[in-house]
Structure 1
C-alpha cells in the first residue's frame, strides 16, 4: 500500500516544479525575488517544525528533511534564504515569553520571515559581537561577517557574547537602523542570489524584551557541535537534482550510494549523540554525503560537455551550489574531519566503506 505524502511535502514539490526549478538559472544570475519568498510564506513551509499551538505544523523530522531536499534541489538560493528562518523558530519555542508571544505565531504561520546572525559565535574565543548592558537594555557592538536574506527577511535573530561569557540572542528588524548598517550584497562564486551581506554594529540598542534566549557559551557550543555533525538534507537534494540530468546507467550506481548514505545519516540524526564514537560516525557520514554529491554534480558536468560551461546550464549551477554546501554550516571539527578524509588520514569516503 502506498503511503500518501505529507501535505507539506506535496506543497514543496508543487512549489519546486511550478516556480523554483523553472526559474533557478535566472535567479542564480540575479537575486532571489520577493515573489519566491511570498510563495514560500504562503506554502506553510516556514512552519514545518514550528509548534502547532502557534500555528505551525510540528511535522516530524523526516518531513522537514524531505521538504528541505526538495527546495534545495530546485533552487538552492531560495532554499538557503528560507532555511535561516527555522533556527529563530526553534529558539523562540524554548525562549523567553515576551518576544516569544510577539513573534512565534507570525513566524510559524509564515506571516513574517526571519534571518540569523549567529555563526560568528563559532569564532570563540574571539568575540566578533560583544553585548553590554546599556540604559536598561542591551548594546551590541562588532561585526557580523555573514547575513543572508537582506531585503527579504522581516526580522533577524542576532547573537553576541557578554563579558561574563553568556550568549545572548535577541530579535530586531532586518533593516538599516541606528547602530546597524549592512554592506552591499556580496558577490560570491555560488548563491550570490541569496543576498548575503555583512553587518556593522556600532551601538545597536535593544530592549530586554527583545531577548529570546541567553545561556553560557559552553552550553550553546555543545548544542551547536551536536547539530553541525549531521549531514545536510540540502546536500542530498542537490545530488538528486544532478542525478536527474544523467541517464540511468550512469545515475544508478551513484543513486544507490546516495540512498545508503542518506539512510544511515538520517537514522543517526534521529538518535541522541550518546558518545564521542557516535559523533564521529555522524561526521563520517556527513563527509561521505559530500563525496556522493561531488560525484553526482561532476558527472552532470561531464555528461553536459561544453554546454555545461554556459551560465544557463543547470549542471554547472548545481556544481557551484555543491561547492557552497561544502562550507555551509562548517565548524573547525567538521572541516578537520573532511580534510582528514580527503587526504586519507580519516575514514574512507563512500564506496560502501
Structure 2
C-alpha cells in the first residue's frame, strides 16, 4: 500500500468503512442501489485516471489499483459496476474523436456513468456482434452475452466486428430502444447484485460521431492479450478482505500472517509485470502470476470460511460472500489463454 495515502485512497477507505462494508450483505441479496453509485461519484473515484483538463484526477496507476482493491474487498458488486466505467474513459482519453469532446468531461466528473459491451470480440474468429456500415453510421447485429450495470449506466461502449475484420467501438445509450433489447437480469451464483443482462442487437444504429475507434482485429488482440493476462486488483482486494476476517479469529492469526506475506509477494510481482514498458512481452509470466494470485485468493477465502465455522454458511455472512465473489473473479474477463494456463496449473499439482 502507498506510504502516504493519496486523497482518493483516503476517500475510498472512508466510503468502504462507512457505507460499502456495512451494507454489502444487503446489496448482495437485493442489488447495487443507485445511491451506492452516487457515493462513488461523490468520492471522485469515477475520474481516478481521467485527464485533469477534463475534470479527472489523473492519478498514478498505483492509486487506481489501490482504490480498486479497497472497493472490491468492501463490496465486490459495487466495484464491478463502477469498474466498467474506467475503460471508456481511458479509450476516450487515448484516441481523438468527436465523441471525446461530448462525453469525456461528463464521464470524468461522474455526471455520466458508462458500461462496456465488448468482451465478446475476444471470441474472434467467431463473431457475436457485427457492425455494418449504413447511411452515415453503423448498425449492430448480434448478441452481447454479458452487460453489467443495466439500469445504473447512462451510456455503453459497444463493439462489433466489421466485414473487413476491424473492431469498431462506439457509444450508445444504455437503455431499451429500437434495435436493442435487454434480457431479464441474470441470476448468478455471485454478483447477481451487479445487474448483469444480455443484449439482443437487431439493427441498433449509431451515427459516425459516436464512434471512438476502428482498429484491425489483430491489432486489438495484440493490445488486449497482455491486458487480459494481468492479475486484477480485485483479486487482491477480496483476498486481503478475507485475510482480515481470518486474522480476527483466535485460531487464524498465524494462517493470516503466512498467507498475507505470500499475497504481498505475488501482488508486487503482478504489478511489476503489468508496468512492463513493452506491454505484449512477458505474457506467459503474467499468466503464471495471475494463476498464483487466484490460488492465494482461493486459499484466503477458504480460510475465512473455515475460520468462521458454521456461521459461514449464512447467506449474509461476509466470509461466504467473499468466497462466492472470489469464484466469480476466477472467470471474470477470462480469455482462452488464461483458461488454458489456469487449468494446466491445476492439472500439474
Same-fold call, TM > 0.5?
Answer: yes
Deviations 1:171-211 (A, max 9, x none): 01100010001010000000000000000000101110010
Deviations 1:48-76 (A, max 9, x none): 11111111111111110000000000000
> Structure 1 pair 134/51, CA: closer, same or farther in 2 (3 Å)?
same
Aligned to 1:287: 291
Among 309, 325, 346, which residue is 1:321 paired with? Answer: 325
Aligned to 1:302: 306
> How many correspondences in the alignment?
343
1:342 aligns with 2:346: yes
- Aligned residue for 2:231, secondary structure, equals coil
Distance 1:192 1:3 in 2: 35
1:200 aligns with 2:204: no
1:215 aligns with 2:215: yes
> Structure 1 pair 21/275, CA: closer, same or farther in 2 (3 Å)?
closer
Aligned to 2:250: none
Structure 1 contact 113–154 (Cα < 8 Å) conserved:
yes
Structure 1 contact 231–289 (Cα < 8 Å) conserved:
yes
- Aligned residue for 2:4, secondary structure, equals coil
Residue 102 of structure 1 and its aligned partner are, at CA, apart by 0.1
Aligned to 1:233: 233
Q: When the two structures are superposed, what TM-score results if normalisation uses the length of structure 2?
A: 0.96
The alignment yields a C-alpha RMSD, in angstroms, of: 1.2
Structure 2 contact 223–279 (Cα < 8 Å) conserved:
no
Structure 2 contact 112–154 (Cα < 8 Å) conserved:
yes
Distance 1:273 1:78 in 2: 32
> Structure 1 pair 297/105, CA: closer, same or farther in 2 (3 Å)?
same
- Aligned residue for 1:111, secondary structure, equals coil
Distance 2:122 2:110 in 1: 29
Deviations 1:224-257 (A, max 9, x none): 1010111110000000110011132220000000
- Aligned residue for 1:323, secondary structure, equals helix
> Structure 1 pair 275/29, CA: closer, same or farther in 2 (3 Å)?
closer
Structure 1 contact 69–237 (Cα < 8 Å) conserved:
yes
Residue 3 of structure 1 and its aligned partner are, at CA, apart by 4.2
Distance 1:81 1:161 in 2: 25
Residue 275 of structure 1 and its aligned partner are, at CA, apart by 6.8
Q: Which runs of 5+ in 1 are unaligned?
A: 349-353
Structure 1 contact 226–273 (Cα < 8 Å) conserved:
no
Distance 1:336 1:308 in 2: 32
Residue 317 of structure 1 and its aligned partner are, at CA, apart by 0.2
- Aligned residue for 2:185, secondary structure, equals coil
Aligned to 1:263: 268
Q: How does 1:1-353 map to 2 (within 5 A)?
A: 3-247=3-247, 248-273=253-278, 278-344=282-348
Answer with 88-97 or 323-332: which moved more.
88-97
> Structure 1 pair 187/10, CA: closer, same or farther in 2 (3 Å)?
same
